[in-house]
Amino acid sequence: MQELLKLIESRQSSRGLFDPKKIITKEDMEKILEAARWTPTAHNMQNFEVVVVDDKKILSAVGKIKSAPDLTFIKENYPQLSFSEEELKQKKVGILGTMFPKSWQTPDPKLEDIENEERGSFMAKQIMSSSALLFVLYDPSRRAPASENDFLGAISLGCAMENMWLTANSLKIGVHIVSSLSGKTAEKEIKKMLNIPDNFRIGFTMRLGYPVASGNYLRVRRDIGDFTHHNGFNNKGLD
């Protein structure tokens, strides 16, 4: 149990570059996919497909796709940012804003600043340095029974993500979720590139590889007593 908790506590996003010369063995990739195979899904629908991409030419082509975030994302991301470790420790939620480009570090960003920033080229380098990309797909027409907006189906995809992420981390393989590749423009190009049927959507993209640097950064969590309510919402903690 302690080993499992340590694995969960040590899990993090590897947002830096990976070593492009290091490949993920077929054996390790199969372990990650085996973890996906045993994902708990609503009604055991197993509502996902996984496209594994490790061809360097395809990775390069994906890296060249323009996938800058829109203004809505950046504006809604801003309240989650802290601009010092002390601020982040006090909040206990969110992430350090200094990890992001300058145009993301303002509540009122300008579209031209986002488009002119070097973020796009860095994302290209991130993707091209990866050992593999896992595109996790789902079919929106296959809704979990009595699940408004397929809420249970979305939870199932999250379970698949966690299973694969923890397994990859246990193998010393870095993981980074590239959400921008699920955007309409990027998704359209990727689906064409990989011959993905029209009825599927990209739920999330998992970037895998071996980090060239430790990439450790301050991670915070609320204490158990901050989010636990005992026998009623007004009774905080377990006392």
- Which one, of 43, 47, 39, lies nearest residue 200 by Cα? 47
Domain positions in the chain are 18-54+132-213, 56-130
Can you say whether the dihedral through the CA atoms of 57, 63, 64, 66 is positive or negative?
A: positive
* Residue 43, helix vs strand vs coil: helix
For the chain, counts of helices (H) and of strands (E)? 10, 6
Per-residue model confidence as pLDDT tens digits over 6-29: 999 999 999 889 999 999 999 999
The reported pTM is 0.90
Amino acid 158: pLDDT: 97
Name the band, by pLDDT with cuts 50, 70 and 90, for residue 117.
low
> Is 3.40.109.10 the CATH number for 18-54+132-213?
yes
Q: What angle do CA 22, 162, 84 make, to 5 degrees?
A: 80
